[in-house]
């Protein structure tokens, strides 16, 4: 028996609905149909009044969730694809994100964003949007890379009194499995050393953690020991763990699947340079997706995002600096 990443998300929601009467799910096709990715399969049957199908109205979905949250509920909104959250951007960034600072009343909503690419998904069903929401004040951005983190971080997100944008990676949904969910949770805001090493640090998150580990495995055959740090959430960003890693290795590659202009990798490099410049033995490097829309064809798609090959290449560059 094994648990997939999507199973973990399903289980977390099922348990939350069972444990708390104030939790409800809202999204397109999430009722009887069980959601585009089956993250809510069977949940409407089990909790008929708290699993609601929404119209195709991302702005109103989040507005509704904000209203419910300030009235004592804890909504979980499922965006069918992270890409469509652009329609809800205003309600997320300008309404939910500003609410506590302006009024003193927190907005405990969790917005699930199925993000990242899968082959053949194209420009509008593949995007990484964590940077957009992390940029705005008042929004927590969780980016789980493991099955256990998907489960624990989702449960923790719903318990948190502030808006959480929960970026779940579609590529991991069914591919990523574990024998069982780890019983102990690492809290949100704490990064994890996924793979220890001493020659260079790769700081990454979400599905890129696995690509980084693959790249590190390849370089291990040549004697390089690459440390991989999984941020787990990009906001809060656990700089302590990152700096401690860079202190050990002296070299930093910030890796992400998002577009290259600005973003999480730029933030990581900027903070490390500002606070740990003396720890660096070489200029820090970044590797991101290409600066084009995400292509449809699997061959183009695979070359658009970082791969074990391109990560190895970038690490070789870093190790030779």
Partner 1 sequence: MEPLSAPAPVVSSGRDADLIRRTLKVMIISRTLESKLSSLYKAGKIVGGVYLGTGQEAFSASLGCSLDQDKDIFAPLIRDQAGRTGFGEPLIEATRTYLGSALGPMRGRDGNIHRGRPADRRPAMISHLGTSVSVVAGMLIARRMKGELGGVVGATCVGDGATSTGSFHEGLNLAAVEQLPMVVLVADNQFAYSTPRERQFACENLVDRAKGYGVTGWQVDATNLLECLSVVHEAVEAARSGGGPQMVVGKLLRLCGHGEHDDASYMASELKDSKLGRDCLEFGIQQVIENGIVSENEIDLWGKKAAEAVQKAVATAQTDPRPDPYRDDWRAFSSKGINS
Catalytic residues: 125
Quick check: 189 and 289 in contact, CB under 8 A?
no
CB nearer to partner 1: give 66 or 294. Answer: 66
Give the span between the Cα atoms of 78 and 10, in whole angstroms.
Answer: 12
DSSP bridge pairs for 255: 287
Least separation in angstroms between residue 192's CB and partner 1 is 18
DSSP letter, residue 221: T
Give the span between the Cα atoms of 4 and 177, in whole angstroms.
Answer: 4
CB nearer to partner 1: give 55 or 223. Answer: 55
DSSP letter, residue 95: I
Least separation in angstroms between residue 280's CB and partner 1 is 22
DSSP 185-213: PPPTT--EEEE--SSEEEEE-TTHHHHHH
Least separation in angstroms between residue 162's CB and partner 1 is 5
Per-residue exposure over 173-202, b if at least 16 CB sit within 10 Å of its own CB, e if not: beebebeebeeeebebeebbebbebebbbb
CB nearer to partner 1: give 54 or 126. Answer: 54
**What is the CA angle 303-306-309, rounded to 5?**
80
Task: List residues binding partner 1 (CB under 8 A).
Answer: 24, 49-50, 54-55, 57-73, 75, 87, 90-91, 94-95, 97-106, 137-138, 140, 160-162, 188-189, 235-237
CB nearer to partner 1: give 58 or 78. Answer: 58
Question: Which of 264, 214, 258 minimizes the C-alpha distance to 82?
Answer: 258
Least separation in angstroms between residue 295's CB and partner 1 is 29
Alpha helices for the chain (secondary structure H): 5-19, 43-46, 58-69, 89, 97-103, 130-135, 147-159, 208-220, 239-249, 263-276, 298-304, 308-319
CB nearer to partner 1: give 93 or 208. Answer: 93
CB nearer to partner 1: give 102 or 177. Answer: 102
Least separation in angstroms between residue 115's CB and partner 1 is 21
User: Dihedral through CA 20, CA 21, CA 24, CA 29, nearest 10?
Assistant: 100
Least separation in angstroms between residue 208's CB and partner 1 is 21
Quick check: 126 and 297 in contact, CB under 8 A?
no
């Amino acid at each position: 028996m094994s648990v997939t990443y999507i199973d973990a998300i399903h289980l977390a929601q099922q348990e939350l609905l069972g444990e708390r009467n104030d939790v409800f799910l809202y999204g397109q096709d999430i009722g009887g149909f069980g959601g585009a990715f089956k993250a809510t399969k069977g949940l409407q049957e089990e909790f008929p009044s708290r699993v609601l199908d929404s119209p195709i109205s991302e702005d109103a979905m989040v507005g509704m969730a904000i209203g419910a949250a300030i009235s004592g509920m804890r909504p979980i909104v499922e965006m069918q694809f992270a890409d469509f959250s652009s329609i809800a951007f205003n309600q997320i960034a300008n309404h939910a994100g500003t609410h506590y600072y302006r009024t003193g009343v927190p907005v405990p909503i969790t917005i699930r964003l199925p993000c990242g690419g899968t082959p053949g998904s194209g420009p509008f069903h593949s995007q990484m949007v964590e940077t957009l929401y992390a940029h705005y004040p008042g929004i927590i951005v969780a980016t789980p890379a493991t099955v256990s983190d998907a489960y624990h971080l989702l449960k923790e997100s719903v318990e948190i009194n502030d808006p959480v944008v929960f970026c779940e990676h579609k590529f991991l949904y069914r591919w990523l499995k574990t024998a069982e969910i780890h019983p102990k949770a690492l809290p949100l805001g704490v990064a994890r050393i996924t793979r220890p090493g001493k020659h260079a640090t790769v700081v990454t998150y979400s599905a890129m953690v696995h690509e980084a580990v693959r790249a590190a495995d390849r370089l291990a055959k040549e004697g390089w020991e690459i440390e991989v740090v999984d941020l787990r959430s990009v906001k809060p960003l656990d700089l302590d763990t990152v700096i401690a890693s860079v202190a050990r290795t002296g070299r930093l590659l910030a890796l992400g699947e998002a577009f290259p202009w600005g973003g999480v990798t730029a933030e990581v490099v900027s903070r490390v340079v500002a606070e740990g410049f003396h720890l660096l033995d070489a200029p820090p490097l970044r590797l991101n997706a290409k600066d084009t829309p995400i292509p449809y064809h699997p061959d183009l798609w695979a070359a658009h995002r970082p791969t074990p090959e391109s990560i190895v290449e970038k690490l070789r560059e870093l190790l030779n600096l």
